[in-house]
Chain A
Amino acid sequence: MDHTSTLEKVIRGILLALVVIFFMFPIFWIFLMSFQTNESILRIPPSLAFTPTLENYIALVTGQMKTAAGSLQLNFMQNLWNSVLLSSASVIISLILGVPAAYAFARFKFRLGEDIAFTLLSFRFAPPLLVLLPLSLYFKTLGLTNTYIGLIWVYQLICLPLILWIVRGYFEDLSPDIEHAHRIAGYSWFQTFRKIAVPLALPGIAAAGLLAFIFAWNNFVFALVLASADKQPVTVGALAFVTASGIQYGQIAAAIIFSIIPTFVLAMFAQRYLVEGLSLGAVKG
């Protein structure tokens, strides 16, 4: 492919430019919208020339939205906080529960372990509502509806399979001899797990944690079914916000930007591991 003609280079360049435009334009456009007043958004034809304003962001942060009908309370910051809380707590619990299990599955090949790992994997691909709808009735009985605990519990459905399968792959990549050497040197099973296995698999564990966070953050349907307004994360909150705010488009755009920035930033950190995470450990980047 070294002898690519100029024509081919030009065509490639144009195609790549089109690809970048298609995939980047929506983000770019919503970003611009978030700095515009409603008047400037509603101009026809749309224009790139406008005076940027932080009004939309300020309204979101202070929770005071000025509409034609007067000032309206909105709670988008609560949604943002819910997202942070739900995602972080879910990932932390998932790591605490999942990493030792992943280690067990990687090191002790036992029947039950395989069964658990594959059951969780197969439910990763089952329709979420299949489990969520009956669960919503159980949650009512148990008083877990619209509680953080209940939500964090079901969020394990997102985080745990991911962490189990990715981290298991990382443990499998470690030579068991290194752990054997540590045991023989005089350390207990747990010390070896803590001082050898976990530190050596740490990049994988961190990547799995970041990815699980992103998936938890981006989840929509779990909270839609199981949470009311005050416990909803940004994904559900933004939708409700559209209904509530009516035509405050600039603020909707700002809310979207607020909601996608954290995952974008984390994705940049986990970038090297994304391929592996997205394929649940089947493909290495």
Chain B
Amino acid sequence: MTSSAMPGRPAKQSRFARKALPYLLSLPALLMCIGILIPFFTAVYYSLLRYRLNLPAMKGFIWFQNYINFFSDPKFWNTLKISLVYAGLTVVLELLLGLAIAMLLQKRTRLNNFISILLLLPLMTAPALAALMWKLMTNPNFGILSYLVSILGFPDMKWGSDPATALFTVTLVDVWVYTPFMMILLLAGLRSLPPAPFEAAALDGVPRSFVFFRITLPMLMPYILTATLFRLLDSIQQFDIIYAMTQGGPGDKLLVFQVQAYLDFFQATNVGRSAALMIILWAITYALSNVFIKQWLKLREKAHGVG
């Protein structure tokens, strides 16, 4: 056995090299951050410009005029309203449905596990493709769903192309794609709850509704909050489903923030307005994400035992 055969003097490492290591490792991620922050600040700058791609001569700094214009702009208020309604509607529906399904699947039986895996498939479908799938099924000429509702007494349902049912249609697709997200997070939450309080309640013959509202819900609350905020953050910026389904139509019926900003940018080529819209959406999501990240960190700490 080599008895401490150390050729020469052991190499001293400089303190600098040791201190620099973590920074070196995170350099790519840092560059990535800078790569995001540059366009972000560019967007902030654009939002302060009169900037139309088709009228380059008019380009100029106008401070907050783009934002001030929003106040008197019914199109903006429509965008804000429809975005909030869409987010609220989808998230509430998905939460209720997701919670109900999670409770149906709570017991760890083979069948339940199989179903919970099966239900992930919609979530694994690209939302844009999911919208296409539903478009095919709601086609007024041959769509299976159009046929089914006509049997139920709605013969001429136009789904996404009718202003009266457009919101319902995209909500349906959103619910189809994202309910499994709620379900799987809440299911994981439900299954991680300690069994003791439930066993005690069962022994004491406590009514089910009481158990649900006084034990299950409060204990599940961190999961519900995290999943809901997570979904809310995504839903208020929904683009794929709405754009693929109706491109924001019919009329201005589904012009949510990102769809409106996309159209402003590429169709109206009004970069300034588009950027200002995005900044407002960003402010909303930033506020929400701060609340969310706190919740999320708490859960993460529980899962990993470290902050």
Contacts and interface: CB of A to CB of B under 8 A. Distances in A.
Interface string B239-279: 11001100000000000011001100100000100110011
A276 B147 CA distance: 40
Contact of A44 (B101, B142, B257): B142
Contacts of B234: 125
Contacts of B288: 125
B127 A133 contact: no
A283 B303 contact: yes
B121 A267 contact: yes
Interface stretch (A53-61, A69-77, A108-116): A108-116
A120 B29 contact: yes
Point out which of A12, A24, A43, A278 has the most chain B C-beta atoms below 10 A from its C-beta: A278
A196 B204 CA distance: 51
A135 B133 CA distance: 31
Contact of A260 (B120, B125, B223, B240): B125
B180 interface: yes
B82 interface: no
Contacts of A181: none
Interface in B110-132: 115, 117-130, 132
Nearest to A133: B265
Interface stretch (B55-63, B67-75, B293-301): B293-301
A65 B189 CA distance: 49
Contacts of A129: 239, 258, 261-262, 265, 278
A120 B133 contact: no
A119 interface: yes
A131 B282 CA distance: 10
A27 B286 CA distance: 35
A15 B115 CA distance: 12
Contacts of A264: 121, 124
Contacts of B303: 169, 276, 281-284
A260 B122 CA distance: 10
A100 B24 CA distance: 9
A221 interface: yes
Interface in A219-255: 219-221, 224-225, 234-236, 238-239, 242, 249, 252-253
Contacts of B104: 12, 15-16, 19
Interface residues of B, number: 98
B304 A173 contact: yes
Point out which of B105, B129, B134 has the most chain A C-beta atoms below 10 A from its C-beta: B129
A278 B126 contact: no
Given A19-B101, A131-B36, A103 B25 contact: yes
Interface in A40-98: 41-46, 97-98
Contact of B239 (A26, A27, A221): A221
Contact of B300 (A24, A113, A157, A169): A169
Point out which of A1, A123, A156 has the most chain B C-beta atoms below 10 A from its C-beta: A123
Interface stretch (B40-48, B88-96, B160-168): B40-48
B126 A260 contact: yes
Interface residues of A, number: 98
Interface string A132-152: 111101100000000000000
A274 interface: yes
Contact of B132 (A22, A105, A134, A239): A239
Contacts of A236: 128
Given A127-B282, A133-B271, A19 B119 contact: yes
A230 B299 CA distance: 43
Contact of A29 (B144, B184, B189, B282): B144
Contact of A46 (B38, B142, B258): B142
A284 to B, nearest CB: 5
Contact of B28 (A101, A125, A234, A276): A101
Given A130-B279, A252-B136, A118 B26 contact: no
Nearest to A283: B188
Nearest to A118: B293
Contacts of A263: 124-126
B217 interface: no
Contact of B26 (A24, A113, A126): A113
B292 A125 contact: yes
27 contacts: A16-B115, A20-B119, A22-B176, A26-B122, A97-B29, A108-B21, A116-B30, A116-B33, A120-B29, A122-B289, A123-B36, A127-B281, A130-B281, A133-B275, A134-B275, A138-B42, A218-B128, A220-B128, A220-B240, A221-B239, A224-B243, A234-B129, A238-B129, A252-B136, A256-B133, A281-B303, A283-B303
Interface of A: 1, 12, 15-16, 19-20, 22-24, 26-27, 29-30, 33, 41-46, 97-98, 100-101, 103-105, 107-108, 110, 112-113, 116-123, 125-135, 137-138, 153, 156-157, 160, 164, 169, 172-173, 189, 214, 217-221, 224-225, 234-236, 238-239, 242, 249, 252-253, 256, 259-260, 263-264, 267-268, 271, 274-276, 278-285
5 nearest A-B residue pairs (beta carbon): A218-B126, A97-B28, A104-B25, A108-B22, A134-B42
Given A108-B22, A220-B239, A279-B227, 9 more contacts: A20-B115, A29-B144, A120-B32, A122-B289, A123-B36, A129-B239, A132-B39, A156-B35, A256-B136
